[in-house]
């Protein structure tokens, strides 16, 4: 059985990457280069920071609509189109894989795709011709559960699958709207450097890497970078699905903050 490729994307601020915002230019270029580098997937399983459900939920419609789950943006933000098809067969496989791992989940035929899905994918695959399924986080935000979700996804029997965790390695909303100070920059960089080392350091055992991710709150500036951890936990799902150091690390500026993306493609 072929292991899925896995990619954690820092998806930026709402729809801004699609509206030509200069502070997201590096993100757009990075995502385009990654899409050009990796083999085009047959389907995508997307874990978005913008959906929490109990039990964990899976989009199962053959033609999900879009959810404009943001407010206060220019009018073009509410006319974005991304008519990617759903993939009910993949949704059922995800449901079964989670059940085998004793993780409760439910198929959701009515839920559409949120901006954590369509913003990065419209940049990577603008043709919208790759079937997609979206998977929620659990509102407990328990790191061990989300790592276990990723481990369960290792068992998916689906050829040429790409699993994407869509979050943001830095997600302090107050800091985004505060003039950057030396202290803010130092805390942003401290957590980023820790995360890059955890995900990419080949000298760590997988037991050590897993322990660090489970105890992420002990990292430098952890709670400054993530006052609430929903934008970090898609990374735990990604690591659970990969269980190895990432093959590629992308360090860049997004929304005037240091951020990272991680690819497992080996």
Q: Is residue 9 pLDDT above 80, yes or no? A: yes
The tokens for 66 are 């879009």
Confidence of residue 2 (pLDDT cuts 50, 70, 90): confident
How far from 52 is each of 18, 31, 47, 80, 138, CA to CA, in Å? 24, 25, 10, 23, 5
pLDDT of 1? 66
Confidence of residue 186 (pLDDT cuts 50, 70, 90): very high
CA 227 from chain centre, in angstroms, equals 18
pLDDT tens readout for residues 159-173:
999 999 999 999 999
CA 16 from chain centre, in angstroms, equals 17
Other CB atoms within a 10 A radius of the CB of residue 89 amount to 14
Closest CA to 164 of 195, 132, 186, 139: 132
State what percent of residues in the chain have pLDDT above 70: 100
- The three-point CA angle 200-56-5 to 5° equals 35
pLDDT of 266? 78
- Residues 6 or more apart from 223 whose CB is under 8 A from it? 217
pLDDT tens readout for residues 21-71:
999 999 999 999 999 999 999 999 999 999 999 999 999 999 999 999 999
The pLDDT mean for the chain works out to 97
pTM attached to this predicted model: 0.97
| Angle between the N-to-C axes of helices 143-153 and 206-214, in degrees from 0 to 180, rounded to the nearest 10 | 140
Q: Is residue 154 pLDDT above 80, yes or no? A: yes
pLDDT of 3? 81
């Amino acid at each position: 059985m072929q292991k899925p490729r896995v990619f954690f994307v820092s998806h930026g601020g709402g729809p801004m990457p699609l509206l030509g915002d200069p502070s997201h230019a590096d993100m757009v270029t990075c995502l385009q280069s990654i899409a050009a580098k990796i083999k085009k997937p047959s389907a995508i399983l997307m874990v978005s920071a913008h959906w929490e459900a109990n039990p964990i939920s899976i989009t199962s419609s053959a033609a999900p609509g879009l959810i404009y789950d943001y407010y206060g943006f220019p009018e073009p933000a509410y006319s974005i189109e991304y008519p990617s098809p759903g993939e009910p067969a993949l949704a059922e496989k995800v449901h079964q894989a989670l059940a085998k791992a004793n993780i409760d989940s439910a198929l959701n035929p009515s839920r559409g795709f949120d901006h954590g899905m369509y913003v990065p994918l419209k940049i990577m695959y603008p043709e919208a011709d790759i079937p997609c399924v979206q998977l929620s986080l659990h509102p407990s935000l328990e790191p061990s559960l989300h790592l276990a979700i990723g481990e369960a996804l290792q068992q998916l029997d689906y050829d040429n699958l790409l699993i994407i965790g869509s979050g943001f390695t830095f997600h302090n909303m107050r800091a985004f709207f505060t003039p950057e100070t030396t202290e803010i920059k130092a805390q942003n960089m401290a957590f980023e450097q820790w995360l890059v080392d955890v995900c990419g350091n080949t000298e760590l055992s997988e037991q050590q890497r897993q322990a660090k991710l489970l105890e992420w709150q002990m990292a430098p500036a952890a709670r400054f970078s993530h006052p609430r951890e929903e934008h970090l936990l898609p990374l735990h799902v990604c690591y659970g699905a990969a269980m190895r150091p990432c093959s590629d690390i992308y360090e860049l500026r997004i929304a005037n903050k240091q951020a990272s993306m991680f690819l497992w493609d080996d």
